[in-house]
Amino acid sequence: MTTIQGPAVFLAQFISDEVPFNSLDGICKWASDLGFKGIQMPTLDPRFIDLQKAAESKTYADELTGIVASYGMQITELSTHLQGQLVAVHPAYDTMFDAFAPSNVHGNPKARQEWAVQQLKYAAKASFNLGLTAHATFSGSLLWQYFHPWPQRPEGLLEEGFAELAKRWMPILNEFDKYDVDVCYEIHPGEDLFDGETYEMFLKAVNNHQRACILYDPSHFVLQQLDYIQYIDFYHERIKAFHVKDAEFNPTGKQGTFGGYQNWINRAGRYRSPGDGQVDFKTIFSKLAQYDYKGWAVMEWECCLKNQEDGAKEGAELIRNNIIKVTDKAFDDFAKVKTNQVLNRKNLGI
């Protein structure tokens, strides 16, 4: 078994134009002062990383590593959640998702997708240059708007959708395989990979590609009312990244899992700051330790109530308190007796 690494923090929700959240040095000092040992880094803000340069220059990648290390931390994974989303976009979402891409590809879905694919390929080489073994992203979606089968889905629609998604991702997965880096899809509502069944459909479509792995985030499963503990039993071999994010689900006589089009604070299912929701982190950390998870525990803050800085401080402590330093011996070793085949046969009465 392996002791989980952490605590780490996903920077996406903290980056801003205010000090200390507007520079790599500033945010690293802030995170280090809270006790974080790692940062999961988004890749679209040039104040923090030039993704193409990190892919093309080992010297630049080493400089980034050095800055983070100077604060006693490591980069845990790079994140291309927004770019990954753009690998597959249904036309219904074109206008809204244009905001994730540079202005020169707005209104041009083909150019936008090509840009996104290149970004993922840069991320593969950049991860290698940074000495990383896992990468966090989204799958994108061609099918999400059909998740509720009304009207009845045409026969073959799902198979065609996953075949196309696999076609778009296979060259990317192969690029990551070249650099020995796992692609960890965050299993998330709004993506075509949003639960166990959809992940398996994708895995089948990419011929069980060894790099098609999982970023495990239990908060999304609370909102779906999915057994997030058993999910680890099913998919632990593919879980290569982990978001420590909390959520709660409190259905009423007026709304349930679909949320009644309400805003986050008024939904039955809400994301909460780590420790304020219903996620059983103690059991999750135990399960991951049991299955020899070798990655990081990365806090992700999303909460409709609590201030993000308070959430980060409490989240770092929650992770520290739940990481299990795994044992290197059996608890009953004190009663162990020396044995041999003769003794074993005698104990069996043979």
Total count of domains within the chain: 1
Q: Which pLDDT does position 230 carry in this prediction? A: 98
* Helices (H), ranges, the chain: 24-33, 51-56, 58-69, 81-85, 94-97, 109-129, 157-178, 196-205, 218-224, 228-235, 281-290, 308-322, 341-347
pLDDT digits (tens, 9 = 90+) for 257-313: 999 999 999 999 999 999 999 999 999 999 999 999 999 999 999 999 999 999 999
> In the 8-state DSSP scheme, what is residue 333?
G
Q: How confident is the model at residue 332 (pLDDT cuts 50, 70, 90)?
A: low
CA dihedral 43, 167, 160, 92 (to 10 degrees): 30
Nearest CA to 31 out of 299, 303, 304 is that of: 299
Q: Which pLDDT does position 345 carry in this prediction? A: 86
Q: What is the mean pLDDT of residues 121-139?
A: 98
Q: Which pLDDT does position 342 carry in this prediction? A: 85
Q: Domain with 125 in it: what CATH number?
A: 3.20.20.150
pLDDT at 178 over 70: yes
With tokens 């799958």, the residue in question is 139
pLDDT at 338 over 80: no
Residue 79: C-alpha distances to residues 30, 122, 240 (Å): 20, 12, 13
pLDDT at 20 over 80: yes
CA 121 to chain centre: 18
Q: What distance in Å separates the CA atoms of residue 332 and residue 350, rounded to the nearest whole number?
A: 26
With tokens 């903290």, the residue in question is 14
> In the 8-state DSSP scheme, what is residue 89?
B
Q: How many CB atoms lie within 10 A of CB 267?
A: 21
pLDDT at 335 over 70: no
Q: Tokens standing for 169?
A: 């991702």
Q: Which pLDDT does position 325 carry in this prediction? A: 94
Given a contact cutoff of 8 angstroms between Cβ atoms, the answer to whether 297 and 5 are in contact is: yes
Residue-range definition of the domain harbouring residue 144: 5-347
Over pLDDT 70: what percentage of the chain?
99
Given a contact cutoff of 8 angstroms between Cβ atoms, the answer to whether 235 and 208 are in contact is: no
Q: How many CB atoms lie within 10 A of CB 43?
A: 25
Nearest CA to 2 out of 347, 285, 301, 298 is that of: 285
Single-letter amino acid, residue 218: P
Given a contact cutoff of 8 angstroms between Cβ atoms, the answer to whether 86 and 113 are in contact is: yes
Beta bridge partners of 5: 296
CA 161 to chain centre: 23
Q: What distance in Å separates the CA atoms of residue 59 and residue 55, rounded to the nearest whole number?
A: 10
Helix axes 109-129, 58-69, angle to 10 degrees: 70
Q: Tokens standing for 194?
A: 């949003």
Average pLDDT, the chain: 96
Q: Which pLDDT does position 307 carry in this prediction? A: 96
With tokens 């296979």, the residue in question is 170
Q: What distance in Å separates the CA atoms of residue 33 and residue 16, rounded to the nearest whole number?
A: 18
pLDDT at 102 over 70: yes
